[in-house]
Amino acid sequence: MSRLNIHLPGLELKNPIMPASGCFGFGREYAQLYDLSKLGAIMIKATTVETRPGNPTPRVAETAAGMLNAIGLQNPGIEKVMNEELKFLEGYDVPIIANVAGTETADYVEVARRISAAPNVKALELNISCPNVKCGGIQFGTDPQTARELVAAVKAVSEVPIYVKLSPNVTNIVDIAKAVEAGGADGITMINTLIGMRLHERTGKPVIANGTGGLSGPAVKPVAIRMVYEVYKAVNIPIIGMGGVTEAQDVIDFMSAGASAVAVGTANFVDHFVCPNIIEELPAMLDTLGVEHISELIGRSHR
């Protein structure tokens, strides 16, 4: 029996490692480098009803310990994702978590209804936390009542379990976590990016055309760990943790704080093999810790 397998609602993971949505596209580029079937799951790029061109450039900027992005949910739309991207991914033995986005409740419901019917989509990730779009996204993720109602509406039409992606850009993330649980969420993914800004050294103006962008990378890990720790104590649904993961020790930290699985984001841009490398390193980490199965780590910070 594998020491790394994890069971979550809708998801039988051979290991707890997956690329985070928005940092892996639909997997085509990475499939040229390694077998995607090695991954625990794949969180595909956000999908909306219609094609979205995204925000104007420049929309990415490096920072001292991470990066800012303001992509703006660029994607080809539900029709193309269903007919092309998900068809491509059917060639791999890996569960797909489809990231669902929109500007209003009806958009989320439409995408969820259609994409949850795809045979390889085993769960949805409801994106209520994107900070880089003018309407939709984060407006649903900052008010508990609005978040609960959106989750309930999507839950009513989805054929697969729903995980809700939480924003760190709130006063109390526990309130939002409790609200989405009350709305019927089967799990939580957290955290999305922190809103940040970088100024041009010479002009003093924002480097990103959008002004602000989402900060990710190693700089956000302590914030993410703290939030996972707090939410784990407050809800009874599983957490997929993310935020600044670059190595196997980060996975141990997130699971100790309360995550049942871990997503790797920005690090994929730096090291294209980061996910399979972490997976290979985990058994030795378990040996060092004297742990037989990785699930024993979940929430150990609280024991």
Q: Is 290 annotated as a binding residue?
A: no
Q: Is 27 annotated as a binding residue?
A: no
Q: Is 192 annotated as a binding residue?
A: yes
Structure tokens belonging to residue 192:
């999305």
Q: Is 165 annotated as a binding residue?
A: yes
Q: Is 99 annotated as a binding residue?
A: yes
Q: Which of 23, 130, 135, 275 is catalytic?
A: 130
Q: Is 48 annotated as a binding residue?
A: no
Q: Is 243 annotated as a binding residue?
A: yes
Q: Is 172 annotated as a binding residue?
A: no
Q: Is 282 annotated as a binding residue?
A: no
Q: Is 210 annotated as a binding residue?
A: no
Contacts of residue 266, Cβ cutoff 8 Å, sequence gap at least 6? 23, 66, 67, 216, 217, 244
Q: Across the beta sheet with 96-100, what order do the strands follow?
A: 17-19, 261-264, 239-242, 187-190, 162-165, 121-127, 96-100, 42-43
Q: Is 63 annotated as a binding residue?
A: no
Q: Is 25 annotated as a binding residue?
A: no
Q: Is 188 annotated as a binding residue?
A: no
* Catalytic (active site) residue 135: no
Q: Is 46 annotated as a binding residue?
A: yes
Please give the annotated binding residues, written as ranges.
21, 45-46, 69-73, 99, 127, 165, 191-193, 217, 243-244, 265-266
Please give the annotated binding residues for FMN, written as ranges.
21, 45-46, 99, 127, 165, 191, 217, 243-244, 265-266
Please give the annotated binding residues for substrate, written as ranges.
45, 69-73, 127, 192-193
Residues involved in catalysis: 130
